[in-house]
Amino acid sequence: MENKRPSWDEYFMEIIQVVKKRSTCLRRKVGAVIVKDKRILSTGYNGAPTGLKHCSETGCLRDKLKVPSGQRHELCRGLHAEQNAIVQAANSGVSLEGATIYVTNQPCVVCAKMIINAGIKRVVFCGDYPDELSTQLLEQAKVELVKFD
């Protein structure tokens, strides 16, 4: 019996499903992998900054205030998966110019701006996120946005 090898997009989309398991967010588990030339440069998941208490210990302020998804990002103590992946690359001195980011959800506007400035040229995601401005900015910056089914 012959096994079908996954495409590169399928392969990296499966990897983000493992990365997101490290998430410490109470609302949504998100994973990201940044790739260039079929090589993983960086990974990230959403959660509190390094060394700080996780939301499972402190509770979620956004939940307490009943803030809808996609709004009032400044009230969250965590970083998004894309932000953590970009910061991890920066801490290691790794350029992301021309890379692809694979992420479980469409990036928010804050992450979209970081993706654009990091030089990432392609975003592959599977889950939606309620942020039209994010889509507009990525399109204006000519970052390819691919919804993976």
DSSP string, 75-134: G-SSBPHHHHHHHHHHHTT---TT-EEEEEE---HHHHHHHHHHT--EEEEEE--S-HHH
Q: Is 108 annotated as a binding residue?
A: yes
Can you tell me the distance from the alpha carbon of 45 to that of 20, in angstroms, rounded to the nearest whole number? 5
Task: Indicate which residues carry an active-site annotation.
Answer: 82
Q: Is residue 60 a known part of a binding site?
A: no
Q: Has 111 been labeled as part of a binding site?
A: yes
Instruction: Render 11-24 in DSSP notation, one character per residue.
Output: HHHHHHHHHGGG--
The rounded radius of gyration (Å) of the Cα atoms in the chain is 15
CB 62 within 8 A of CB 113: no
138: its two tokens: 């990525």
Sign of CA dihedral 61, 67, 73, 74: negative
Binding-site positions for Zn(2+) read 80, 108, 111
